Structure 1
């Protein structure tokens, strides 16, 4: 291939990439609106057919983008990268739904929401957020494991405090785990709550820890975001 031909090829690739970078973010938003409209119960057949045509067009463009990236960004490296997986999830449900029953299609359509994650490629602020999660993933994994351990201990603890007096509400550790999730996240649905003095004191401790659970990951990600912004 001559230098002139390579230059023309590179220029064409750059133009295709530039066009996709402009079109795809718009189609992501259109796709989400299209999906939301498709859930309306009283749509007539013409509107539903139009929604399906829009979806088909969007999938075609997303498929072209995915194949283009596979060809020019390194097949294996791109296919298993974060954005490669997201791009695949954006189109795979449509192809898998072909020939399946209605219940399976409804489940697969839910995965269209992953298309929103594609926006992280086209928005600088969202790119920073993705980089912040990536750079602090080890800390977040350790924190998540610690949270799961704390949830289990909280579920077991409240079970032993409350089961003797509320056997119908805290009938097992699993009921205690549901209470622990609602309490540690500070949601407090009110469907299960302690009535014993020991259970109330235990709940106070869990609530204090719950405030920390909300704050710690926020601090970790915020610190990573600040670091990335300084580097930029």
Structure 2
């Protein structure tokens, strides 16, 4: 079957990478170089991709095996190694991880603040729906993401005013990570164009 063939190829590739990893200058003259290489994110993804095939031979618990089979989805991440756009996306996330973390932290603070306001505005009118601030966070998530399921909504005047403000604020808040990613993609593509200009198209060496 194709799965057996693909697992054999992936396993051979995985073992080969471990064997030759010391050829990489980054892992030369480093203690436990192969172990450090094995625990890198991409190698862990590769291990998760091939592990589900071998585990049924040593584990008989069918429930556990069904869960482990979900790890097969990690094989999709292997495409990132051979796809230029996927590598670019990875570099962008790596470069802007700090900025994105701050942006989502701000979004989380806004969510808590909006849910707290709505709880105090609607709790007396709808105690079964807005029973607590954590329960009100479902409304906050739906409103900030502009999904609008309609299962939870305010009925008081104050609640409707808060909901309108939060809906508008949600658009502005999501513009922050969107802007960060857009600028990061532009910068990364600019760097790659410069690198290509400074490299020989035939041998790939840098032109000095």
TM-score by length of 1: 0.71
Tell me the residue number matched to 1:157.
117
- Number of residue pairs matched by the alignment: 180
1:95 shift after superposition: 3.3
1:171 shift after superposition: 1.6
Which aligned runs of 4 or more in structure 1 are off by greater than 3 angstroms?
A: 93-98
* 1:72 maps onto 2:20 in alignment: yes
Indicate if the aligned counterparts of 1:97 and 1:108 stay in contact, CA closer than 8 A: no
* 1:88 maps onto 2:36 in alignment: no
- Counterpart-to-counterpart distance in 1, 2:103 and 2:56: 37
Q: Compared with structure 1, are the counterparts of its residues 76 and 229 closer, same or farther at alpha carbon in structure 2 (3 Å cutoff)?
A: farther
Indicate if the aligned counterparts of 1:89 and 1:111 stay in contact, CA closer than 8 A: yes
Q: 1:166 aligns with which of 123, 126, 132?
A: 126
**Unaligned 5+ runs, structure 1:** 1-52
SS at match of 1:73: helix
Q: CA RMSD in A?
A: 1.8
TM-score by length of 2: 0.79
1:217 shift after superposition: 1.4
1:77 shift after superposition: 4.4
Q: Compared with structure 1, are the counterparts of its residues 227 and 158 closer, same or farther at alpha carbon in structure 2 (3 Å cutoff)?
A: same
Matching of residues 96-107 of structure 1 within 5 Å: 96-98=55-57, 99-107=59-67
SS at match of 1:164: coil
1:105 shift after superposition: 2.1
Superposed CA offset, 1:123-182 (max 9, x none): 111111110111000101111222222222222221111110011111222220111111
**The structure with more helix, counted as a fraction of residues:** 1
Q: Compared with structure 1, are the counterparts of its residues 96 and 149 closer, same or farther at alpha carbon in structure 2 (3 Å cutoff)?
A: farther
